[in-house]
Amino acid sequence: MDKPILVARKVQMMFNSPDSSLEALAEASFEVRPNEFVCILGPSGCGKSTLLRILGGLVRPTGGAVLLDGEPLQGPQARIGFVAQHANLMPWRTALQNLALPLELQGTPRAVSEGKAQEMLDLVGLTGFANALPRELSGGMRQRVALARALIYDPDILLLDEPFGALDALTRERMSYELLRLWEMDRKTVVMVTHDIQEAVLLGDRVLTMSPRPGRIECALEIDLPRPRRQEDLYTARFIQLVHQLRDTLR
């Protein structure tokens, strides 16, 4: 078996203020293998998003450590891409310009960065929307741009913090299958936070469930459904059994 690419080792997080303290995470531990798609489920407020930001090097834990290829993670890395629940696009920049921004910040020549940005727009099905401003795009389109922006510099690991949580049910379903299509093309290592049990079973190789705050990993369930996965898989006996098993765990 491959060595883990990402390890959370007894990660703790305490938020302190002059008036109070809040323990968000209590020794959360797990490993992620290369090219694995891991989903994290848990009740609201259990620390899922905090844990994901720690995995991305965006927040330093108050206890424990995160290892990237066996080395302590000290801060944000180009090898790790991050997609938040909201697209957070710059409203004055077009879809193409928003996509090209990470490469511009790395000093990539404009012609090269815009050429790569157009390739990514094509990849996520937004050919023809290069000059559209964020306000001219639907919620699903804006989230596609955000996903493409995280992928444009080809990170080894993609962290997704409920990327479809703000979308309506039908758009969310379409985006889940779009994410599956993109992942099957490249098989990047993905860790995704979601509230949706069916979404976790559809997408994941493994689903981790978290306890109420302070969050810790309570269960790791292997999803033994064959790939590639399609909409009809949602109605199979095994899919339904896995959904019920996860729901029982969360209860």
Containing H/E element for 81?
strand 80-83
Which pLDDT tens digit goes with each residue over 114-145?
999 999 999 888 999 999 999 999 988 999 99
Q: What is the DSSP pairing of strand 37-41 with strand 189-193?
A: parallel
Distance of CA 165 to the CA centre of its chain: 12
Which pLDDT tens digit goes with each residue over 166-222?
788 888 888 888 889 889 988 999 999 998 999 999 999 999 999 988 889 999 999
Q: What pLDDT shows up at residue 1? A: 62
Average pLDDT, the chain: 91
Residues 6+ apart with CB under 8 A from 69: 3, 5
Tell me the one-letter amino acid at 104.
Answer: E
Residues 6+ apart with CB under 8 A from 179: 147, 160, 163, 203
Contact between residue 7 and residue 64 where contact means Cβ atoms under 8 Å apart: no
Q: What pLDDT shows up at residue 17? A: 79
Q: Is the pLDDT higher at 66 or at 107?
A: 66
pTM for this structure? 0.92
High-pLDDT (> 90) share of the chain, %: 63
Span 60-89, mean pLDDT? 92
What CATH superfamily is the domain 1-79+189-251?
P-loop containing nucleotide triphosphate hydrolases (3.40.50.300)
Q: Is the pLDDT higher at 41 or at 170?
A: 41
Span 16-41, mean pLDDT? 90
CA distance 129 to 116: 15
